[in-house]
Amino acid sequence: MSVDQEPRDLPGADQPNGRGKTAALAALALGIGGYVAAAVALSRRRESARASMHDSAPGRTARRARFGGYSVVGRTVTIRKPRQELYDYWRDFANLPRFMESVKEVAVEGDLTRWTIAAPAGRTVSVETRIVEDRPGELIAWRSTEGSDIDTEGRVHFKDARGGRGTEVEAIIAYKPPAGELGRLIATLFQSEPALQGRRELKRLKMLMETGEIATSRNHRERTEGDTP
């Protein structure tokens, strides 16, 4: 059974304990332990989802990197721009390939988005997502649909940074590759350096938003094949 068949109320950033627990129990009842674990990791504050964790660090910074069947990566970057402007840029998904190097194409159809992601050996992986939560200027959360190659859910959260430093943009993604050959391919794509991709992408977004361009040491405009590390 895939996560897609589970209830859509992913425990949110600022949800009280009760609702997170309800979601976790519902998932348990359906026999999806991985979902619970992923939900814990996705939570911004551990205590909001699990009272036994007693520091205020985000769940994904826990020393373990896997939560049930899910791997979770996340990163926060502070960008000197108002959060509405950053939200608007991100919400227009056609903008994302500008700073996400592995995303080759984004096609939006109604509330569904189809992503074409570059994988090793010249192959591509296709992911279809549905927006599960959308709070203008604040949060976008999505989940993969059943037809996707990857079982994934994620969110990007925009909040005012302390000291007038702009906006803290936090992106968190949980994913579970399927079994079989495709699964192994996806595992190679993501697990060689799980957090690396997301980290670089957020940095590129920051560069683009703050400076209007993405820094490069290339001396020539043409992009050569295989130049991306």
Query: Is 220 among the residues that bind another protein (CB under 8 A)?
Result: yes
> E strand or H helix at 135, and its extent?
strand 124-135
CB of residue 83 vs another protein: minimum separation in angstroms?
16
Subset of residues 95 to 114 that bind another protein, contact rule: CB under 8 A: none
Tell me if 62 contacts another protein by CB under 8 A: no
49-76: string of b/e by CB count within 10 Å (b at 16+)?
A: bbeebeeeebbbeeeeebbbbbbbbbbe
* Identity of the residue, 54 or 218, whose beta carbon is nearer to another protein in the bound complex: 218
Report how far apart the first and last C-alpha atoms of the chain are (Å, whole number): 36
Q: 116: which 2 tokens?
A: 């074409």
Question: Other CB atoms closer than 10 Å to residue 101's CB: what's the count?
Answer: 15
Using CB under 8 A, which of the segments 16-24, 41-49, 146-154, 210-218 binds another protein?
210-218
209: closest CA among 104, 89, 92? 89
User: Which residues are 168's β-sheet partners?
Assistant: 78, 159
Q: Using CB under 8 A, pick the residue from 110, 221, 224, 225 that binds another protein.
A: 221
For the bound state, the minimum distance from the C-beta of residue 119 to another protein, rounded and expressed in Å, comes to 18
Near another protein by CB under 8 A: residue from 8, 104, 123, 165: 165
Asked whether position 213 contacts another protein by CB under 8 A, the answer is yes
Interface ranges with another protein (CB under 8 A): 78, 80, 165-166, 196, 199-201, 203-204, 206-207, 210-221, 228-229
